[in-house]
């Protein structure tokens, strides 16, 4: 009887693993989709080292994803992104001088030399809300940040 139950458990585990892999392939994580859309990088789920999301009811909020790029992505970053320092118009959004109630991005992104990328995703150009993506590469990791207000 124990052999039959053990065999059934192994079969069920195998079926579950197959369906999980297929589901992950067909429906990738939202973090991976965001990086693909905004940074034009196709990363694997195991590249992601850290993810924190404080989005609310209507999608407003912040998100930070930290991942290690592969060599091909590093070459893309070094040729297509801008070299530090961050532009003075964008720096206050990323590194605020006053008290900040969100994810406190400055505790995640090191203030070192590197490459950065900024994408304004705001459909309305009135300036009343912020919807942008920012990424910083320090030579080892990419720190990806999204703000939607």
Please list, in sequence order, all residues whose beta carbon lies within 8 angstroms of the beta carbon of residue 93, skipping any fewer than 6 positions away: 130, 132, 134, 147
Asked if the structure places residue 133 within a domain, the reply is: yes
Asked if the structure places residue 5 within a domain, the reply is: no
Helix (H, G, I), strand (E, B) or coil at 127: coil
For residue 39, the enclosing domain spans 29-148
Is 36:42 a contact under the CB 8 Å cutoff?
yes
Asked if the structure places residue 19 within a domain, the reply is: no
Question: Over the stretch 5-21, which tens digit does the pLDDT of each residue have?
Answer: 888 878 888 887 666 65
Lowest-confidence region among 30-39, 70-79, 104-113: 104-113
Please list, in sequence order, all residues whose beta carbon lies within 8 angstroms of the beta carbon of residue 96, skipping any fewer than 6 positions away: 106
Is 130:140 a contact under the CB 8 Å cutoff?
no
- The overall average pLDDT reported for the chain is 77
Asked if the structure places residue 18 within a domain, the reply is: no
Number of domain units in the chain: 1
Residues of the chain with pLDDT > 70, as a percent, come to: 74
Asked if the structure places residue 45 within a domain, the reply is: yes
Which range is most confident: 27-36, 41-50, 79-88, 100-109?
79-88
Asked if the structure places residue 14 within a domain, the reply is: no
DSSP codes, 34-86: HHHHHH-----GGGEEEEEE---TTS-EEEEEEE---HHHHHHHHHHSEESSP
pTM recorded for the entire structure: 0.70
Asked if the structure places residue 16 within a domain, the reply is: no
Q: Is pLDDT above 80 for 104?
A: no
Residue where the block lists tokens 């065999």? 7
Does residue 33 or residue 119 have the better pLDDT?
Answer: 119
Q: Is pLDDT above 90 for 43?
A: no
Q: What pLDDT does 80 receive?
A: 93
Question: Over the stretch 60-88, which tens digit does the pLDDT of each residue have?
Answer: 777 888 889 999 999 999 999 999 888 88
Does residue 33 or residue 136 have the better pLDDT?
Answer: 136
Please list, in sequence order, all residues whose beta carbon lies within 8 angstroms of the beta carbon of residue 131, skipping any fewer than 6 positions away: 120, 121, 122, 123, 147, 148, 149
Asked if the structure places residue 135 within a domain, the reply is: yes
């Amino acid at each position: 009887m124990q052999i039959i139950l053990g065999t059934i458990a192994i079969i069920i585990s195998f079926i579950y693993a197959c369906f999980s892999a297929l589901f992950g392939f067909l429906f990738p994580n939202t973090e991976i989709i965001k990086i693909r859309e905004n940074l034009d990088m196709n990363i694997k789920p195991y590249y992601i080292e850290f993810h924190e999301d404080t989005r609310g009811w209507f999608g407003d909020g912040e998100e930070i994803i930290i991942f290690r790029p592969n060599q091909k992505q590093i070459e893309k970053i070094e040729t297509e992104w801008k070299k530090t320092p961050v532009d003075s118009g964008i720096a206050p959004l990323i590194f605020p001088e006053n008290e900040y109630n969100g994810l406190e991005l400055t505790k995640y992104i090191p203030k070192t030399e590197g490459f950065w990328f900024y994408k304004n995703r705001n459909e309305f150009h009135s300036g009343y809300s912020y919807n942008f993506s920012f990424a910083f590469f320090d030579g080892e990791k990419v720190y990806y940040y999204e703000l939607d207000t």
